[in-house]
Amino acid sequence: MSPADTIVAIASPVGRGAVGIVRVSGPAVPEIAAQLLGRLPPVRTATLARFLAADGASVDQGLALYFAAPASFTGEHVLELQGHGGAVVQAAVVDRLLELGCRAAKPGEFSERAFCNGKLDLAQAEAVADLIDAGTTAAARAAVRSLQGEFSARVQELLSQLTELRIYVEASIDFPDEDLDPLADAALRQRLQGLFASFDALGSAAKQGALLRDGLTVVLAGKPNAGKSSLMNALAGDEIAIVSETPGTTRDVLRQGVQIGGMPLHLIDTAGLRTALDTVEAEGIRRAQKEMLRADRVLYVVDASDGVPPADLAAQLAQLPGDVPVTVVYNKIDLVGTAAHLGTASAETGEGPVQIFVSARTGAGIELLREHLRSSAGLLEDGASALAARGRHRDALQRARAHAQAATDALRTTKAMELFAEELRLAQQALGEITGEFTSDDLLGQIFRSFCIGK
């Protein structure tokens, strides 16, 4: 990608619509606009214009907006054409712009130019894509906060705290005759406490944002005819899965996305776990086991009317992946003949998984199960503190905190000021990866390739 190129792309959704937007960015925009429109439009003024072919005929007619560098999204000259939304019309406009010297933009190239020209940092650029992809209102709000720079400002605050600590400690290295003892300084201890408090607060906000963005993957598992498909339908609020009295109806993996309190929930219904009766069922069970290994949580569904002995249930649970959290859901409680446990949940203990009693048929206990999934994921009530964050952001935060902790431990155990300062420098470098201060070209390419063409 060369910043000397002038790039073009359709910025509106693919397909037929009332309005179609074509975006152009680069140094040649003024000359190209003059040829396409007959003249360069006034800056930041919506101008009705004809989009002209090489022979002077109209390709389309619509609004043209010109943004002169550096006051534009990309920091370059930008032309935005708002014409009719037909696919053929938009393609004709793009073809004409290619004739005039533009190059077709690559995915995310507009946002990448904005980043390279200092209009956005990397976290803000990624928030653009997160806002477009947001599946819930809460996720969109978190992305807007990050796009407006709240996440980046919090990172910069951490960087400032680390810088102040480095300045203080490196002074004791550079001026050993002053006999400075950082360990005896109450102000230094307070600064360290404040640093870790800031790390924890930002880590929590990033975790909330990741939950709102990525959600929770939940696999429904259990014996055949325990009511897994019925439970999936109840959680989804729709007839997604086929329900039958015949055991083994579900042979393959069935997926459905729902929302719980603003958090995306990826439900996966699986084949009943038992000794397979044929090769098709065996493949379904193999796929069920594979999905459980990748799940964030397993809902192990038990038919409450079967009266499963605790020892048998323990043996069944022992067959599940040991490192995936499990919730035991007693379904069909309405068939037991008593409402004593209807819709109740056991307490979280270290002795066994949470047990929730529901009826997928009547809906009793389903809301309690939804709330359990939401709380077990760690999502706070309103998500107001969430910031759009990706896995790489959380990884960088964790590494930065680990370096800060290593610095503190080194200071306490060995009083090695040089090691303390070096660990703080590494913490700063890890944080710099979030905003793009320290980022490899390979990572930039990977990030922006996931964007829309017109972004």
**Quick one: tokens of 416?**
């090695």
Rounded to 10 degrees, the C-alpha dihedral 355/356/360/366 comes to: -150
Q: What is the pLDDT of residues 195-206, one digit of tens each?
A: 999 999 999 999
Nearest to 256 by CA among 248, 265, 247: 265
Instruction: From the options 3.30.470.20, 3.30.1360.120, 1.10.10.10, 3.40.50.280, give the CATH code of 7-120.
Output: 3.30.1360.120
Residue ranges of domains in the chain: 7-120, 131-211+390-435, 220-377
pLDDT at residue number 340:
44
Nearest to 403 by CA among 418, 422, 384, 385: 422
Q: What is the CATH topology of the domain spanning 220-377?
A: Rossmann fold (3.40.50)
For the segment 329-340, the average pLDDT, to the nearest whole number, is 77
Angle at 212 between CA 206 and CA 216, to 5 degrees: 105
Q: Give the residue with greater pLDDT, 171 vs 420.
A: 420
pLDDT at residue number 227:
87
Q: How would residue 431 be classed by pLDDT, with cut points 50, 70 and 90?
A: very high
Report whether pLDDT(177) > 60.
no
Q: What are phi and psi of 406, to 5 degrees?
A: -65, -35
Q: What is the pLDDT of residues 137-149, one digit of tens each?
A: 888 989 999 999 9
pLDDT at residue number 339:
47
pLDDT at residue number 454:
73
Q: Looking at the chain, how many residues does it have?
A: 455
Report whether pLDDT(241) > 80.
no
The residue behind tokens 């035991």 is 328
For the segment 357-377, the average pLDDT, to the nearest whole number, is 90
Report whether pLDDT(179) > 70.
no
- Return mean pLDDT, the chain: 85
Q: How would residue 376 be classed by pLDDT, with cut points 50, 70 and 90?
A: confident
At 324, which amino acid appears? V
Nearest to 404 by CA among 210, 198, 209: 198
Report whether pLDDT(452) > 80.
no
Burial of 151 (C-beta count, 10 Å sphere; 0-12/13-18/19+): buried
Q: What is the pLDDT of residues 30-88, one digit of tens each?
A: 999 999 999 999 999 999 999 999 999 999 999 999 999 999 999 999 999 999 998 99
For the segment 111-118, the average pLDDT, to the nearest whole number, is 92
Report whether pLDDT(253) > 80.
no
Distance CA 336, CA 304 (A): 7
**Quick one: tokens of 197?**
């408090």
Report whether pLDDT(134) > 70.
yes
Please, are residues 365 and 342 in contact by the beta-carbon 8 Å criterion? yes
Antiparallel, parallel or unpaired: β 58-67 and 47-52: antiparallel
Q: Give the residue with greater pLDDT, 150 vs 214.
A: 150
Q: Give the residue with greater pLDDT, 338 vs 148.
A: 148
Cis peptide upstream of residue 325 (ω within 30 degrees of 0): no
Rounded to 10 degrees, the C-alpha dihedral 444/446/448/449 comes to: 150
Distance CA 182, CA 166 (A): 11
pLDDT at residue number 5:
93
H helices, E strands: number in the chain: 14, 12
Of all residues in the chain, the percent with pLDDT exceeding 70 is 85
Distance CA 215, CA 263 (A): 6
Distance CA 434, CA 150 (A): 13
At 186, which amino acid appears? A
Q: Domain 131-211+390-435 has what CATH class?
A: mainly alpha
For the segment 381-402, the average pLDDT, to the nearest whole number, is 86
pLDDT at residue number 344:
47
Strand spans (E) along 350-429: 354-357
- DSSP letter at 242 equals -
Angle at 114 between CA 110 and CA 118, to 5 degrees: 170
The alpha carbon of 104 is separated from its chain's Cα centroid by a whole number of angstroms, namely: 28
